[in-house]
Amino acid sequence: MFPAMEALYETDARRLDKFIFDHLQPDQEFLNRVSDAIRIICEFLRENCFRDAPQSRVLKVVKGGSSGKGTALKGVSDADLVVFLSTFKTYKDQELNRREIIQEIQKRLEEFRNKQQKNIDVIFEPTKWENPRVLSFKLRSYADNDSIEFDVLPAFDALGAYACMRDWVSFPPGTEGGGGNV
């Protein structure tokens, strides 16, 4: 429990905004460091992660978690990164191949960590699942002792697949993509 939480119960309603600002909201410097860390991992995923696998490419990365939603707390931050990959053509592909994809992402992150020789470390959370849905790790800065927890989730881009499918599937007139009156 945050030490300031005890004071929260003694704070009257008109002073809640100040309490939140003083005790819960991170400062701009911390938010900038978090934003930089997310940018570094997103760039890594887009540009380096699958460079030796031409059949796999990152279609897009969608950010979530407290950092992605703007709800990070002082000193505590997490980022969920949903990585849509060209490798997955169906949900079944995702289910069957995500373990290998997660292993590849982890292998590349380990190489990235070893190559950086800067003031950052990548610490992986062990999984108890044979076919995990997510790669969890912390990106830690030695310079300021901050760490950001990441969950990277490889995913099938169902909406993108549907958009592509609409380009080559013809629907009867008036059905607007399969819906409406037939």
CA-wise closest residue to 40 among 161, 160, 141: 141
pLDDT of residue 16: 86
Q: In this predicted model, what pLDDT tens digit does every residue of 147-182 receive, in sequence order?
A: 788 999 999 988 876 555 445 445 455 555 444 443
Return the higher-pLDDT residue of 76 and 81: 81
Identify the CATH number of the domain defined by range 4-168. Answer: 3.30.460.10
Question: Looking at residues 2-7, what average pLDDT do you find?
Answer: 65
Percent of the chain topping pLDDT 70:
80
Please state, in angstroms and rounded to a whole number, the distance separating the CA atoms of residues 108 and 179.
Answer: 44
